[in-house]
Structures are given as C-alpha cells and as structure tokens.
Amino acid sequence: MEKRRSFGIMPDGKAAEEVTLRAGELSCSILTYGGAVRTLRVPDQNGRPTDVVLGFDSLEDYIRQDKYIGALIGRYANRIGGASFPLNGVEYPLRANDGPNHLHGGPMGFDKQLWTVEALTENTLVLTLTSPDGQEGYPGKLDIKVTYTLTECGLEIDYEAKSDRDTLCNLTNHSYFNLSGHDSGSISDQQIQVFADRYTPTGPGSIPTGELAPVEGTPMDLRVPTPIGDHVDDGFDQLTLAGGYDHNWVIKGWDGTLRPAARAWSPRTGITLEVLTTLPGIQFYSGNYLDGCPAGKGGAPYAKRWGFCLETQFFPDSPHHPAFPSSVLKKDTVYHQKTYYRFQ
C-alpha cells in the first residue's frame, strides 16, 4: 500500500488525501478530511491483522455521514448547552446543531475541514489547521497541530493549540472501535472497564446537570470489566434518556499526566484496547445512534451498537459549570494534551 494517496475531491475543488502509517505489526490510515482515522489494523490472538475502527471507502460517504466516524473533534468535544457560553464577562453565541445545543464544534467543526500534512515519516503524521477568529462563534484565531504516532503497541494522538485571544479548546478523536473487527457486528459481548468512581449525569438534550454522581450501585459502575450488553438497556433513567451509554466519566486521579482511563476487550479476537490520557474525562458512547447509513468499508452495515467510542475530553458543557475542570485556553498559552490507544 502506498504511503500517501489521493482520497477524492472536496466540493470546493480541494484534494483530500489518505496517509498510511506503519509500526511493527500495526498499520493505520488517516485522512486529511477531518483528520479521521480510517483504518487501524492490529493483530488478533492468532496474529491475524484485524481492522478495529469503523470507516468508509469514499470521501463522499465521509461527507454524507453524520456520526463523526473516526474524526478529530474541535473546537469543543461534545455539547455546550444553549449553544452559547460566557467568557470574561461576554456571552459568545455558537452555531446550534443538536436541537438548541452546540455539538462537537458545530455544523462546520474540525471534523468537516481539510487539514494540512505538515510532516510525515514511516510512523508519524503531523496535521495542522488554522481556525479563524469567530469560526462557529468561537473567539480567537486558533492554530492547531495534531501529531499521530503509531507505535508497535498502538496509536498516540498529541494535540497542541494556541489562540490569539482567550477562547475554549477541547479536542478529541471520535473513532468507533469494534475489537472483533469493524464489520463483525454488535459490540455487546465486548467488555468495557472505565477507571472512574463518578460520572456526570445529564438532563434534557444530554446536557450535564453539573452533578458528579457516584457510579456505585448503578449500571454506570464499570470499574470491573463488564460486557457492554449486560446493562446497556437497563431501566436506569440515565441510560433510557440516552438510549444506552453516552456519558462522561470522571477519570480517577486526574493530574494532567498520561493515565489509564478505560480498557476494552473482545472475547472473539482476544484484542485488548487500553486508553490513556492527560485529560480529566472520557465519554463512553455505545454507538446507540448508528443506523447503517451510509454503508461502511466493504459495504459493512454499521447498525446500532456496531462500534463504541472512548472520547477523552474536558467535561461536556464545562463553560456552564465552574466546578468542572476549565476548558478555557488563555491567549498565547499552549493547549497540550495527549491520548494513547494501546493494544495488547
């Protein structure tokens, strides 16, 4: 496979590309469109390469889909309630794209933009993007640099950003994993473990209430490995409201260093994924809204719960909850966060 290939033409005539990285037995491909991770191949228990992320075969399908499959999310991962936020005494209206709320950076978020290949080696890719002052409503010109490093054990994503005005910054990756293979069906038998004693319950529109609730005694307690299907459809109000898991967990012992946040395992392939991050929160989303449209790689019909996301992040709606860790990026300071998806 070539290292760099054309991946179609954007409606404005610009060319999208796909880059392939390799390290040991692992390989992965990343698009300049939305910085999306399109394939990620890791060996299963018998050494067979298994593609563990959902993706599409054409640029048109990436543009058509509305599930953020594989994409780099910004400027703000997850939701900001009422599509507006206060900063330094000024209220900044944002573009609403999820009912009255703002989701994943708005209708023209970073997932829909063409990134520039700044540097490329056998196993690393640096993508950059400049988001102009006022884009989707956010103050400040934001310069973003994202480095993808494929190691012999996994994929590390390093995020850096700098703004010329105070602003918000909360970047993540929205890969859907299926550790039995992207086209293998439901993820219900795959085990999930989240290293968190608390989570942020949500109210209408999946906006956090502001509470940091204990997981103890609820189906949100994923402190020991649990098959995703065991409790996902329990009659627990947080699950029924969201149609399954779609919540932010408060990572235990957050101190800004790279720490384990979650683990997942497939009994069919024996593949284990561990997610480590410098960020304080992780959204475990059980793919409740996947609906098979458009068809995925090789025609795979990605139906409800065919993939799950582990999105490392500042907590959803943090600008409205002063007790949550702050996602404010001060003018001329550097946002620097890292997430490592490690396989065993």
- Of 162 and 182, nearer to ligand BGC (C-beta) is 182
Shortest distance, CB of residue 104 to ligand BGC, whole angstroms? Answer: 6
CA–CA gap between residue 260 and residue 176 (Å, rounded): 19
| Active-site residue, 17 included | no
Interaction between residue 289 and ligand BGC (CB under 6 A):
yes
Considering only the C-alpha atoms of the chain, give the largest distance between any 2 of them, rounded to a whole number of Å. Answer: 58
Interaction between residue 327 and ligand BGC (CB under 6 A):
no
One-letter amino acid of 302: Y
Interaction between residue 173 and ligand BGC (CB under 6 A):
no
Interaction between residue 78 and ligand BGC (CB under 6 A):
yes
Contact 340, 276 (CB under 8 A): yes
Torsion of CA 233, 305, 179, 297, to 10 degrees: 180
Q: Where are the extended beta strands (E) located within 245-333?
A: 246-251, 259-265, 272-277, 281-285, 308-313, 328-329
Shortest distance, CB of residue 173 to ligand BGC, whole angstroms? Answer: 11
Shortest distance, CB of residue 73 to ligand BGC, whole angstroms? Answer: 8
Q: How far is CA 22 from CA 43, 72, 149, 180, in A?
A: 13, 20, 9, 21
- Of 16 and 282, nearer to ligand BGC (C-beta) is 282
Which residue of 62, 68, 85, 306 would you call a contact of ligand BGC, by CB under 6 A?
68
Which residue of 206, 269, 278, 339 would you call a contact of ligand BGC, by CB under 6 A?
206
Helix (H, G, I), strand (E, B) or coil at 343: strand
Sign of CA dihedral 65, 66, 70, 71: positive
18, 156, 274, 311: which one is catalytic? Answer: 311
Which residue of 3, 41, 67, 223 would you call a contact of ligand BGC, by CB under 6 A?
67
CA–CA gap between residue 96 and residue 172 (Å, rounded): 19
Q: How far is CA 184 from CA 16, 305, 324, in A?
A: 28, 11, 38
Shortest distance, CB of residue 176 to ligand BGC, whole angstroms? Answer: 9
| Active-site residue, 311 included | yes
Interaction between residue 111 and ligand BGC (CB under 6 A):
no
174, 182, 247, 321: which one is catalytic? Answer: 174
Torsion of CA 181, 186, 190, 194, to 10 degrees: 110
Q: How far is CA 308 from CA 83, 99, 247, in A?
A: 26, 23, 12
* Contacts of ligand BGC in 256-285 (CB under 6 A): 283, 285
- Of 67 and 320, nearer to ligand BGC (C-beta) is 67
- Of 274 and 317, nearer to ligand BGC (C-beta) is 317
Interaction between residue 314 and ligand BGC (CB under 6 A):
no
* Contacts of ligand BGC in 211-250 (CB under 6 A): 246
**What does the block give as tokens for 342?**
């490690």
Residue whose Cβ sits closest to ligand BGC:
67
Long-range contacts of 113-116 (CB under 8 A, 24+ apart): 113/34, 114/10, 114/14, 114/16, 114/32, 114/33, 115/32, 115/33, 115/34, 115/35, 115/72, 115/146, 116/32
Which residue of 173, 311, 314, 329 would you call a contact of ligand BGC, by CB under 6 A?
311
What is the Cβ-side half-sphere exposure of residue 297, based on CA atoms within 13 angstroms?
A: 16
- Of 152 and 291, nearer to ligand BGC (C-beta) is 291
Judged by CB under 6 A, the number of residues near ligand BGC is 10
Interaction between residue 176 and ligand BGC (CB under 6 A):
no
Interaction between residue 317 and ligand BGC (CB under 6 A):
no
- Rule CB under 6 A: which residues touch ligand BGC? 67-68, 78, 206, 246, 283, 285, 289, 309, 311
Residues marked active site are found at: 174, 311
